[in-house]
Amino acid sequence: MSRRIVAVAALLAASAALAGPPAAAGDVPRGRMGIGDSIMLSASDELGPLGYVLDAEVGRQFSTGVEIVRRRANHGTLPRIVIVHLGTNGPIPSDGCDDLRAAAANRQIFVVTVKVPRSWEGPNNDLLNACANASDRVHVIRWYARASRHPEWYGEDGYHPNAAGQAAFAALIDEVVDDTMAARRAAR
Q: What is the pLDDT of residues 101-152, one digit of tens each?
A: 999 999 999 999 999 999 999 999 999 999 999 999 999 999 999 999 999 9
**Residue 20 — pLDDT band, cuts 50, 70, 90?**
very low
**Residue 29's pLDDT is what?**
86
SS3 138: strand
| 133 in a structural domain | yes
On the question of pLDDT at 83 being above 80, the answer is yes
| 176 in a structural domain | yes
SS3 111: strand
> How many domains are contained in the chain?
1
**Residue 26 — pLDDT band, cuts 50, 70, 90?**
low
10 Å CB burial of residue 63 (0-12, 13-18, 19+) is middle
Radius of gyration of the chain (CA): 18
**Residue 188 — pLDDT band, cuts 50, 70, 90?**
confident
| 18 in a structural domain | no
| 2 in a structural domain | no
Average pLDDT score over the chain:
88
| 17 in a structural domain | no
pTM of the model: 0.85
| 100 in a structural domain | yes
- CATH code for the domain in which residue 110 is found: 3.40.50.1110
| 12 in a structural domain | no
Domain that holds residue 105: 34-187
**Residue 44's pLDDT is what?**
96
At 16, which helix (H) or strand (E)? helix 3-19
